[in-house]
Amino acid sequence: MTPIIELRGVHRTFVKDRQTIPVLQDINLSIEPNEIICLVGESGCGKTTTGKIIAGLLEPSGGEMLVEGRPISSYSGKERSALRRQLQLVHQDPFASLNPAHTIGDILSFPLKRHKMVEGSAGVRRRIWELLTMVDLTPPGDIVNKYPHQLSGGQRQRVSIARSLTVQPRLIVADEAVSMVDVSIRISLLKMLHELRDRLGLTIVFITHDLALAKYFAWEGRIAVMYLGRIVEIGRTQDVIAAPQHPYTRALLAAVPEADPELTRHKHMLRLRSDDIPKLTDIPPGCAFHPRCPFFVPGLCDETLPHLTAIPGAAQHAACLPLQRGEALQEAAKAAASGYAG
């Protein structure tokens, strides 16, 4: 199948105070139609920038993005605006992303009218009813005339999702879409996204810093772990969670507390060599994780840049040189073995 999105060697830089900051470097990622893929990582890892590029809101500074197998540069102006509609972004903050001066009905009708998605005002009304029902805001009659401030955070996020669906997208980028809502109702939002995906054949790019949430949401999909602007590991969620390969992924998984007292108190911790996250303006040579990596191999990791390739004995890909050479990390890290605190 042709991937719906393919990023080939995508770079992205921002200029701040006359300094060029490489926010994304050499991102290669292909996303299949109807797939769920999670981008995870800590702040500054580039997951939001990647999401914005996928949603067509940012241009890559280098490399190229293909949509349905065609480079985005080959799309004509008209085709591009159609493309924009097919790729939608749902923002993190439903308090900031909905105009407080407009009713929910207005918020949903603007894109319907602007893009002539339906005929006539009766059609608009019918479609709004449909959309609100789709996101479980029922009965729609109770919602359409309300303003955002009259809704709870979870309801607002449902409105945001309904708005993204007005233009009948094929792909949705959900950037921390549930992190502002209470834990008790996150699951219902995620379940709704799952149902929408099944029903509308959507592809979902889910961006989160919460690994447990990523695991739950993308259980049947894939996870890409990002660090300092690069993907360091990618594979099926079940493989990445059960047998993480890249030392950074291992460190993240080991660091997450679990909602289970005995389990969380007996987790094996990976102690990093340093707590300091390097600045994007000063990314370490070789593997960017080497100054913190407990399995650092001097003369290798600090000199050669690892690429994302298959790891012997593992189902997923990771950018780690010792792993790619087939070395077991524990052995490679004899010197640092004492850092394994249990």
Q: State in angstroms the smallest separation of the CB of 312 from another protein.
A: 25
**With respect to another protein, which residue has the nearer C-beta, 211 or 234?**
211
Out of 264, 281, 309, 338, the only residue in the binding site for another protein (CB under 8 A) is 264
Region binding another protein by CB under 8 A among candidate stretches 75-83, 99-107, 273-281, 283-291:
273-281
Contact 32, 4 (CB under 8 A): yes
Q: State in angstroms the smallest separation of the CB of 231 from another protein.
A: 17
Among residues 262, 261, 237, 241, the alpha carbon closest in space to that of 252 is found at 241
- Print the binding letters for residues 201-220 with another protein: x by CB under 8 A, - otherwise: --------x-xxx-xx--x-
Tokens of 148: 């955002």
**With respect to another protein, which residue has the nearer C-beta, 109 or 237?**
237
Q: State in angstroms the smallest separation of the CB of 102 from another protein.
A: 23
- Print the binding letters for residues 25-54 with another protein: x by CB under 8 A, - otherwise: -----------------xx-----------
How many other β-carbons are positioned within 10 Å of the β-carbon of residue 142? 11
Tell me: does residue 184 bind another protein (CB under 8 A).
yes
139 prior amide bond cis, ω within 30 = yes
Tell me: does residue 282 bind another protein (CB under 8 A).
no
Region binding another protein by CB under 8 A among candidate stretches 84-92, 142-150, 177-185, 299-307:
177-185
Out of 81, 188, 304, 338, the only residue in the binding site for another protein (CB under 8 A) is 188
Tell me: does residue 152 bind another protein (CB under 8 A).
yes
> Rounded distance, CA 93 to CA 153, Å?
9
Tell me: does residue 232 bind another protein (CB under 8 A).
no
Exposure string for 203-242, b = 16+ CB within 10 A, e = fewer: bbbbbbbbbebbbebbeebbbbbbbbbbbbbbbbbbbbbe
| Residue count, binding to another protein (CB under 8 A) | 41
Out of 21, 57, 58, 277, the only residue in the binding site for another protein (CB under 8 A) is 277
* Phi, psi angle pair for 270, to nearest 5°: -105, 115
**Footprint of another protein (CB under 8 A):** 42-43, 152, 154, 182-189, 191, 209, 211-213, 215-216, 219, 241, 251-253, 255-266, 269, 272, 275-277
